[in-house]
Homo-oligomer: A and B are copies of this chain.
Amino acid sequence: MTYCVGLKLDRGLVFMSDTRTNAGMDSISTFRKMHVWEKPGERVIVLMSAGNLATTQAVVSLLEERSKAPEERSSVVLETPSMYQTARLIGDVVKEVIAHASPTGESADSYFNASFILGGQIKGSPPRLFMIYPEGNFIESTDDTPFFQVGETKYGKPIIVRAYDRTMSFEETVKLLMVSFDSTLKSNLSVGLPLDLLLYENDALAVKLKKRIALDDPYYRTISDGWSNALKLAFKSLPDFPI
């Protein structure tokens, strides 16, 4: 499995993804699930994926035109006129890849499924955040639903639902996502460190921060240990059930 979150703030976009992929319990590997295309001053596009690794890699390869010779390559997502067109393009590629992998005739193709979170900004338009489904269609974030999760989403959702606030700083939002990821890591073996983090500030048209967070990252350790204690204190602060 996988866990990825894309979150929209008043001041920009925040992305976090884990790096574990597994095919069964004894076939565990580390793969980057966050892909970034950047043309400073013109656009930043971030794509995170969950689902069948062959499908998600094929989608990214097609977007990067890896079938062409290296000198002729120019990722198609660097040429789209808008984020909406980018989401549509990626949706079409997802549909094509899944259809190609599926057995012909009537048969479930869920095994090849993959979902994506797409976010970024292209000069002249505001930053946008999309969730792309395996069927190729997509939805955009709104003020009511300002974040998307894909993969193993349930363990880490309650804290985001309660603590998210669109006026948050980047510093606080990274803390929120670290807590959400830590809760997931502690409950599910198929989500694993290191984590990839990307911050994008509105209208910067360049990545603000891109960082890989490993097990020995001191801030991650502070949050992971500190959250256990803080949760226990929070729990203790509530009144016991009167019998």
A-B contact pairs, 15 of them (CB 8 A): A158-B158, A158-B186, A159-B231, A161-B187, A162-B228, A171-B241, A175-B238, A176-B235, A179-B235, A179-B238, A219-B242, A222-B239, A223-B238, A226-B237, A226-B239
The 9 closest A-B pairs by CB, nearest first: A154-B154, A174-B241, A171-B240, A230-B234, A234-B234, A158-B183, A163-B235, A226-B238, A171-B241
- Binary contact readout A215-239 vs B (1 if CB under 8 angstroms, 0 otherwise): 0000100110011101111110111
- Binary contact readout A177-209 vs B (1 if CB under 8 angstroms, 0 otherwise): 011000100110000000000010000000011
CA A227 to CA B158, docked complex, whole Å: 11
Would you call A231 and B169 a contact (CB within 8 A)? Answer: no
Residues of B within 8 A of A88 (CB): none
Would you call B159 and A235 a contact (CB within 8 A)? Answer: yes
On A, residues with C-beta under 8 Å from B are 154-155, 157-159, 161-163, 169-172, 174-176, 178-179, 183, 186-187, 199, 208-209, 219, 222-223, 226-228, 230-235, 237-243
Would you call B235 and A175 a contact (CB within 8 A)? Answer: yes
Residues of B within 8 A of A208 (CB): 243
CA A187 to CA B174, docked complex, whole Å: 21
Q: How far is the CB of A169 from chain B (nearest CB, A)?
A: 7
CA A163 to CA B183, docked complex, whole Å: 13
CA A206 to CA B158, docked complex, whole Å: 36
Residues of B within 8 A of A237 (CB): 226, 230, 233
Taking CB as reference atom, which chain B residue is nearest A177?
B241
Residues of B within 8 A of A158 (CB): 155, 158, 183, 186-187
Seed contacts A163-B235, A171-B243, A178-B241; 5 additional CB < 8 Å A-B pairs: A154-B187, A161-B187, A162-B228, A230-B235, A234-B234
